[in-house]
Amino acid sequence: MGRIVILFSCLIMTVSNLFAQFETKLNEELFLTKLNDTAYVLTHYFPWESNSLIIKASEKEVVLIDTPYDTAGTALIIDWINTNLKPDKISAINTGFHVDNLGGNPYLREKGIDIFGSDRTCELIDEKGKQTQQKLISWLKPEQERIKKVYESMVFVKPNKTFKIQDGITLKIGALTFEVFFPGESHSPDNLIVYIDELDLLFGGCMVKSLSSRNLGFTGDANIAEWPKSMKVVQEKYKMAQIVIPHHGMWGDMSLVQHTINLLENN
């Protein structure tokens, strides 16, 4: 009986840790959920829901994985980091060329924050940046005029610390190891995952769908043939992951990766 109670309360703790929604509301569109003392999920509705990640790598260093959609949201989050985590240094990682990955780059570079990203992401900003911008604008409703104005005036800034996509990069920052890995093309030709070894945490980004996703979402830049293969690479390589963060929707465990494979196979 005692064991069952302990097991049950562990389960409740895990579930409430993983699903403690929106602990801090930064404004009407920006919410912060503390997963543990090291990791915070940042959720931006602009107007579509999107997750990025704040990692306290040490007392002195913070890493931002992807950014809110725009510079104002990114400014708010950098202020929050400076006030609450008080780091000496902030670094950033972009996991793709879409605006939910890097819309905040202009602000980050203005503040002298280094941004790590792949050579392919830089190419795709040149090749498709304008096109994606127009697509997003076309999806907005007339009553979303304020958001539309932001997208219309958006400028794409590339990561300044680049690496070859096929090589990926391993960053040792503070007490943590960030493995930035390209498993092959997926939701976009350049989507990367970030695995934080010490936290058993996989930031799956846009290639991993949440359990409530019933379809693949926007696939205009996707490689549908390669995506399932890339997911299986992730599934095999990161089977030890305990926390999996998708770019859109609720996080969970490796079942999100299997769910994404199922969606792809039934597509």
Strand, coil or helix: 221: coil
Neighbouring residues of 53: CB distance < 8 A, sequence distance ≥ 6: 39, 40, 41, 42, 64, 65, 66, 194, 203, 245
Q: Say whether residue 247 binds Zn ion (CB under 5 A).
A: yes
Which of residues 56 and 259 has its CB atom nearest to Zn ion in the complex?
259
Q: For Zn ion, which stretch binds (CB under 5 A), given 92-100, 113-121, 221-229, 254-262? A: 92-100
Which of these ranges, 93-101, 129-137, 140-148, 173-181, lies near Zn ion under the rule CB under 5 A?
Answer: 93-101
Assess 66 for contact with Zn ion (CB under 5 A): no
Q: Which is nearer to Zn ion, 57 or 231 (CB)?
A: 231
**Where does this chain touch Zn ion (CB under 5 A) — which range of 37-45, 98-106, 120-128, 194-202?**
98-106
> What does the alpha-carbon distance between residue 98 and residue 187 come to, in Å, rounded to a whole number?
10
Site string (196-215) toward Zn ion, x via CB under 5 A: ----------x---------
The CA distance from 56 to 214, in Å, is: 33
Contact 62, 54 (CB under 8 A): yes
Q: Which residue has the closest beta carbon to Zn ion?
A: 206
Residue 259 Cβ, how far from Zn ion at the closest point, in Å?
Answer: 16
Q: How far is the CB of 106 from Zn ion (least distance, A)?
A: 19
Judge whether 207 and 194 are in contact, CB under 8 Å.
no
Residue 190 makes contact with Zn ion by CB under 5 A: no
Question: Please, are residues 67 and 17 in contact by the beta-carbon 8 Å criterion?
Answer: no
Q: How far is the CB of 247 from Zn ion (least distance, A)?
A: 4
Dist CA 97 CA 45 (whole Å): 18
Q: 38 or 191, CB closer to Zn ion?
A: 191
- Quick check: 100 binds Zn ion (CB under 5 A)? yes
Closest distance to Zn ion from the beta carbon of 219 (Å):
11
CA 267 – CA 264 distance, rounded (Å): 5
Total of chain residues touching Zn ion, rule CB under 5 A: 3
- What tokens does 55 get? 């990692």
Q: Which CB sits closer to Zn ion, 174 or 249?
A: 249
Alpha helices in the chain (DSSP H): 2-19, 71-84, 99-102, 105-110, 119-139, 145-152, 227-237, 255-265
Tell me: does residue 221 bind Zn ion (CB under 5 A). Answer: no
Minimum Å gap between C-beta 217 and Zn ion is 7
Residues that bind Zn ion (CB under 5 A): 100, 206, 247
